[in-house]
């Protein structure tokens, strides 16, 4: 049987028919899609806050129940039913009916915001991610918004990162983390459970403590962001070491990690008086004579990065310690940013000059250092000496703290830590702060600015220093604290736990423990047990620079602090 050949004309006719059929199918599909989209259109969640709170009633086992959702601003939803006043859509397996006021046609409509109100005093910026400028906006102030970029809306959280605003006829940028679109929310007392002592009212006048610890502070709950490429270590059993020791005695510390419960190191990278132990470029930008701060540099940034990675490859969590406002070098080169008398002369306190923690230049300098350290790969940044000098209140009239914006000391320290956390977030590094132990016991700031809960609400990790030799007889009901460090840690951690429960989203609690002063391994273990018995895990050993011979004297005490669950 012979096969018939199709002529060219027939092929053309068949091809044309196929094209026409395909076109018809596409038309039908488009029409069907158009009809579907018209009946079930996409809408975007609108909310004045970052998330819209929605409650959905339902029946389970014959009983009425309610499920609550926090839907981020800008979330796209497809309507299953559209009515004049409300519409219905599916969200996380539940059918939700919502007032049409909260459903916008476009994403752009979700960020059309005319006015914002800060929850605390904030320094503005002349460009996004630029340096802080002198212009500020105050808590509850009405701030005119001129522009919001769609790229600045995080649809996973509903947060708007930056607002372009206008003040006194000039354009600035304002970070969205600390503002509300409703004035009442900006001035709201976000935490009514916080207790505080009014002791310092006797020195500064009635109402001082409430203003310092409550009214000027931002207590809106914050949530630690967990980074997939950097897990936050809660069972962190660390010892403090100098960078010099880390370099010269590397094998000792790597073996300590294998022989004991130690799984982390707190490495001093900026020390007392302002010395930098690595070749910092931030010093070149902020100091007139950077050589003074870098006179004893031990490693380049590349060498530091390699060293940190080597330790991490062996299973060590690395914390970069930065001594912050105890910085004589910065003070000497920036007297206008430092604590002086009323004639502008630097004041010696504990044999050193101090920058003012009110100084935005000091803020930016230390955060610039933290960014470099983060770039070198540390898991966590720990700010130490985040405080004002102690013992200055008696002669306050003769001292100039450079309090440009009339802030409380507590507000200034919280402002610094919030700024640091905001700047370091893109580096996927956690932020910690060391605090004196006594402010928590006294429930005030001890006139150094360290009100415990104001700091705790601003960091990922809070690190108190309840060393037994810092407490006088009878403190926390302990007859002789210096002779019973285990009891000190147990009682102090119980007090801290009570305070931490006053915050909706408390940070990780990780205490320093004392190893200096000829403490025995059993006394080290007793401190760790005291922490565990109060429901917490993790510790950091303070024994000066962590010299091998010192650590050897009680290393049998460095046990794993993990609580078995």
Q: Are strands 42-45 and 103-104 parallel, antiparallel or unpaired?
A: antiparallel
Summarised one tens digit per residue, pLDDT across range 180-208 is: 999 999 999 898 889 999 999 999 999 99
Above 50 in pLDDT, residue 3?
Answer: no
Element (H, E) at 531: helix 521-533
pLDDT (average), residues 457-480: 94
Q: Where in the chain is the domain with CATH 3.20.20.80?
A: 224-557
pLDDT (average), residues 21-41: 62
User: Is residue 316 classed exposed, middle or buried when 0-12, 13-18 and 19+ CB atoms within 10 A define those classes?
Assistant: buried
Average pLDDT, the chain: 92
Q: Give phi and psi for 468, each to the nearest 5.
A: -60, -30
Above 90 in pLDDT, residue 320?
Answer: yes
Lowest-confidence region among 6-10, 18-22, 56-60, 403-407 = 6-10
* CA–centroid distance for 230 within its chain: 15
Helix 360-375 to helix 301-313 angle (10° resolution) is 60
3-state helix, strand, coil in the chain (%, to 5): 35, 25, 35
Which of 10-14, 346-350, 547-551 ranks highest by mean pLDDT?
547-551
pLDDT (average), residues 447-457: 97
- Please enumerate in sequence order all residues whose Cβ is within 8 A of that of 489, keeping only pairs 6 or more positions apart, or say none: 466, 511, 513, 526, 527, 528, 530, 531, 534
> How does residue 351 score in pLDDT terms, banded at 50, 70 and 90?
confident
Above 70 in pLDDT, residue 30?
Answer: no
Q: Where in the chain is the domain with CATH 2.30.30.40?
A: 113-188
- Please enumerate in sequence order all residues whose Cβ is within 8 A of that of 485, keeping only pairs 6 or more positions apart, or say none: 467, 468, 513, 514, 519, 523, 526, 527, 530
> How does residue 2 score in pLDDT terms, banded at 50, 70 and 90?
very low
Give the architecture (CATH level 2) of 42-109: Roll (2.30)
Question: In this structure, what token pair is assigned to residue 232?
Answer: 């936050």
pLDDT at site 26: 61
Summarised one tens digit per residue, pLDDT across range 91-131 is: 998 899 999 999 999 999 999 999 999 999 999 999 998 99
| Choice between 2 and 320, residue whose per-residue pLDDT is larger | 320
- The DSSP line for 205-220 is -TTHHHIIIIITS---
CB 283 within 8 A of CB 293: yes
Domain 113-188 sits in CATH at: 2.30.30.40
pLDDT (average), residues 444-472: 96
CA distances 518 to 2, 62, 237, 488, 551, Å, are: 107, 66, 20, 17, 11
Full-model pTM: 0.90
**CA separation for the pair 271, 249 (Å, rounded):** 19
| Choice between 510 and 56, residue whose per-residue pLDDT is larger | 510
Longest dimension (CA), the chain: 117
**CA separation for the pair 380, 266 (Å, rounded):** 9
Of 159, 216, 209, give the one whose Cα is nearest residue 189.
216
Above 80 in pLDDT, residue 428?
Answer: yes
pLDDT at site 39: 73
pLDDT at site 74: 96
User: Is residue 18 classed exposed, middle or buried when 0-12, 13-18 and 19+ CB atoms within 10 A define those classes?
Assistant: exposed
Lowest-confidence region among 19-23, 45-49, 286-290, 523-527 = 19-23
> How does residue 299 score in pLDDT terms, banded at 50, 70 and 90?
very high
Please say whether the structural domain 224-557 has been given the CATH code 3.40.710.10: no
Question: In this structure, what token pair is assigned to residue 33?
Answer: 């899609």
> How does residue 40 score in pLDDT terms, banded at 50, 70 and 90?
confident
pLDDT at site 225: 87
pLDDT (average), residues 59-87: 90
**CA separation for the pair 261, 282 (Å, rounded):** 35
Neighbours of 323 (CB within 10 A): 21
pLDDT at site 1: 46
pLDDT (average), residues 137-160: 95
pLDDT (average), residues 543-559: 96
User: Is residue 175 classed exposed, middle or buried when 0-12, 13-18 and 19+ CB atoms within 10 A define those classes?
Assistant: buried
Above 90 in pLDDT, residue 273?
Answer: yes
């Amino acid at each position: 049987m012979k096969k018939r050949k199709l002529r060219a004309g027939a092929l053309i006719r068949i091809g044309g028919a196929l094209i026409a059929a395909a076109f018809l199918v596409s038309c039908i599909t488009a029409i069907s899609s158009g009809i579907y989209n018209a009946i079930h259109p996409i809408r975007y969640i609108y909310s004045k806050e970052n998330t819209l709170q929605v409650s959905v009633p339902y029946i389970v086992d014959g009983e009425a129940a309610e499920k609550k959702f926090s839907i981020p601003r800008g979330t796209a939803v497809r309507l299953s039913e559209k009515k004049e006043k409300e519409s219905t859509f599916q969200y996380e397996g539940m059918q939700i009916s919502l007032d049409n006021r909260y459903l916008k046609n476009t994403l752009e409509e979700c960020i059309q915001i005319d006015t914002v109100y800060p929850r605390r005093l904030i320094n503005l910026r002349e460009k996004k991610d630029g340096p802080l400028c002198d212009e500020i906006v105050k808590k509850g102030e009405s701030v005119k918004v001129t522009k919001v970029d769609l790229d600045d809306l995080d649809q996973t959280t509903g947060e708007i990162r930056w607002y372009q605003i206008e003040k006194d006829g000039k354009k600035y940028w304002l970070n969205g983390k600390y503002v509300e679109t409703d004035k009442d929310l900006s001035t709201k007392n976000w935490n009514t459970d916080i207790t505080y002592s009014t002791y310092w009212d006797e020195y500064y006048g009635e109402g001082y403590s409430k203003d310092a610890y409550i009214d000027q502070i931002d207590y809106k709950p914050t949530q630690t962001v967990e980074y997939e490429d950097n897990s936050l270590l809660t069972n962190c059993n660390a010892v403090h070491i100098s960078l010099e020791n880390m370099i010269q005695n590397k094998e000792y510390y790597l073996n300590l990690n294998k022989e004991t419960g130690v799984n982390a190191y707190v490495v001093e990278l900026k020390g007392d008086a302002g010395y930098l132990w690595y070749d910092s470029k931030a010093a070149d930008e902020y100091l007139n004579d950077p050589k003074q701060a870098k006179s004893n540099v031990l490693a380049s940034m590349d060498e530091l990065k390699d060293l940190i990675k080597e330790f991490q490859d062996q299973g060590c969590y690395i914390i970069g310690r930065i001594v912050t406002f105890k910085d004589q070098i910065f003070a000497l080169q920036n007297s206008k940013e430092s604590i002086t008398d009323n004639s502008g002369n630097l004041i010696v306190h504990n044999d050193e000059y101090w920058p003012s923690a009110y100084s935005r230049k000091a803020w930016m300098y230390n955060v610039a250092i933290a960014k470099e350290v983060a770039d070198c790969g540390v898991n966590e940044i720990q700010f130490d000496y985040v405080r004002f000098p102690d013992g200055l209140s008696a002669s306050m009239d003769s001292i100039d703290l450079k309090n440009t914006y009339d802030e409380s000391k507590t507000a200034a320290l919280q402002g610094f830590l919030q700024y640091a956390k905001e700047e370091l977030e893109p580096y996927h590094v956690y932020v910690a702060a060391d605090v004196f132990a006594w402010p928590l016991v006294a429930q005030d700031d001890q006139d150094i600015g360290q009100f415990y809960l104001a700091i705790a609400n601003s960091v990922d990790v809070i690190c108190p220093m309840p060393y037994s030799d810092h407490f006088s007889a009878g403190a926390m009901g302990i007859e002789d604290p210096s002779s019973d460090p285990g009891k000190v840690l147990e009682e102090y951690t119980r007090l801290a736990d009570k305070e931490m429960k006053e915050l909706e989203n408390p940070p990780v609690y990780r205490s320093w423990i004392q190893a200096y002063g000829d403490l025995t391994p059993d006394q080290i273990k007793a401190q760790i047990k005291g922490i565990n018995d109060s429901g917490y895990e993790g510790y950091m050993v303070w024994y000066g620079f962590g010299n091998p011979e010192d650590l050897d004297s009680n290393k049998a005490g460095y046990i794993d602090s993990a609580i078995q669950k």
